[in-house]
Amino acid sequence: MERALVIYYSFSGNTKELAQEFAAALQTRFQTDLVRIEALDESASFFGQARRAFFKTEARIPDTLPFDVSAYALVAVGTPVWAFGAAPAVRSWLRRSRGFNAARGVAFATYGSGAGSKKCIEEMSCLLRAKGATTVKTLLIQQAQCSQPAMMRQQCAELMRDV
């Protein structure tokens, strides 16, 4: 069975819900690892978080995370949209990741107002392609839907037809 990695950062839990749902969907076809990225130097305030994200600052993340993804046929990376882009911890992981070896990529994100959500997912897709992912599929979910498992399950099932 091929292997898949679902790796994500989540501050308040929405992206975690989506990551868990997508990992469960993948499990039917892939041996799937689900990994949460923690920021070791998390900002204490909304403005601190937004400022760091806006200026594309990276976060300090554990060295124990899987950075070498060469064992995986599919790599899915998830982030909340922060200040129109990816969260700093995801940016850090993407920079340090290696060994894509033409793995299929998935970029997924959850968002609030929607401001910058398309820009965020496009940047994530570009970063994954630059790393060597072949196809990159995307999934964007509004935060209110993250408490509706049936809705997320349907979106994940649709994405599964593409990967």
Ligand X SMILES: Cc1cc2nc3c(=O)[nH]c(=O)nc-3n(C[C@H](O)[C@H](O)[C@H](O)COP(=O)(O)O)c2cc1C
Q: Which residues bind ligand X (CB under 6 A)?
A: 10-16, 46, 49-50, 80-84, 110-117, 143
* Residue 131 · residue 103 · CB < 8 Å: no
Closest to ligand X by CB, 22 vs 111, is: 111
- Minimal distance, residue 35 CB to ligand X, in Å: 14
Question: Exposed (0-12), middle (13-18) or buried (19+): which is 32, by Cβ within 10 Å?
Answer: buried
Closest CA to 101 of 79, 131, 65, 81: 131
- Minimal distance, residue 9 CB to ligand X, in Å: 7
Which residue carries 């554990």 as its tokens?
62
- Minimal distance, residue 109 CB to ligand X, in Å: 7
Closest to ligand X by CB, 18 vs 127, is: 18
Closest to ligand X by CB, 16 vs 137, is: 16
Closest CA to 75 of 124, 128, 37, 25: 128
The rounded distance, in Å, linking the Cα atoms of 28 and 23 is 9
The rounded distance, in Å, linking the Cα atoms of 126 and 101 is 16
- Minimal distance, residue 48 CB to ligand X, in Å: 8
Closest to ligand X by CB, 53 vs 73, is: 53
- Minimal distance, residue 51 CB to ligand X, in Å: 9
Residue environment code for 133-160, b if the CB has 16+ CB neighbours within 10 A, otherwise e: beebbbbbbebebbeeeeebeebbeebe
Closest to ligand X by CB, 66 vs 116, is: 116
